[in-house]
Amino acid sequence: MFYLKAHAAIFKAYLKIMLTYRGMMLLHMFRVVLMPLVIATAWLSIEKVDSNPYKNSDYLLYYLLVPLVMNLTNSRSVFKFPVSVRDGTLSRELIKPYPPLMSIVIESFSNNLQMLLYLVPFTLICTFLFQSHLDFSFLSFKFFPIFILAVFFGALLRMFISGSIALTGFWLEDVTTLNLLLNGSIWALLGGMIIPVATFPEKIRHIAELLPYRYMLSFPIEIFSGKLTNAAIYKGFSVMLFWTIVFYFTARFIWKRGIKIYSAYGG
């Protein structure tokens, strides 16, 4: 009960902090939205071949959902934790009566939640403007709970991947380059931000389906779009669960090794 009250208080505090910087959040929203829209425009201008499973309406819906799912599965730990090691604020977190990384998780969650205040209206407006180019015949409410579950586990998976990278901050002064490589560029390519995974060549698609990146972005959208069979959904959740467990124990291992050598002044 104490943990719940403490976490609720931290959550409220971060909500107030985020609301103080509404202009910055709005700029961040434009950054999140702009790239998918540019990529969508590029794909819509390219002539489609018969072997491509995506039509123009599929591309449009896919990239309308990319900013929403990308925001909901986002994790800020990779930016926050190394700073707390360098400036010593981690020392203060270690003596608090709750898990020391929980405040970073809550901050990330509050940020993602408040971004929805901008992203949801933007998505609805775009859907209204392009409704004549969208095909909603596939929509089925039975997929919506599965979509929400996929987004939740996708966020959990990215949190553990980002956390594993962030925890290398015990040894590395700056983990930005490592994050850009493992959690940025590869994720953008194999996760489906630049190209929908379903449109990959068959061999590359099979590789992408076995790696964790697809399940943090493309997989939930494919479920929402009705592009997957029940068997493909079960397989996808199995792969996602496997990688979540792998990176959970990876993060725990790095934390236990790193905290033994941690020392800092200040905070």
Residues 103-129: pLDDT tens digits? Answer: 777 777 877 787 787 788 888 888 887
Q: What is the pLDDT of residue 267?
A: 47
Query: What are the tens digits of pLDDT across the range 135-191?
Result: 777 666 778 899 999 999 999 999 899 989 988 988 888 888 888 888 778 888 889
Query: What are the tens digits of pLDDT across the range 46-100?
Result: 766 667 778 878 888 888 888 889 888 988 778 788 888 888 788 877 877 777 7
Q: Which DSSP symbol is given to 102?
A: H
Distance of CA 55 to the CA centre of its chain: 25
Q: Between 38 and 231, name the one with better pLDDT.
A: 231
Q: What is the rounded average pLDDT of the residues 192-221? A: 91
pLDDT band at 8 (very low <50, low <70, confident <90, very high): low
| Helices assigned H by DSSP within 168-263 | 176-180, 186-190, 202-210, 218-224, 230-261
Distance (Å, whole) CA 149 – CA 188: 22
Q: What is the pLDDT of residue 42?
A: 73
Distance (Å, whole) CA 21 – CA 191: 30
Report yes or no on whether pTM surpasses 0.75. yes
Residue 229 falls in which region: left (phi positive, over 0), alpha (psi -120 to 50) or beta? beta
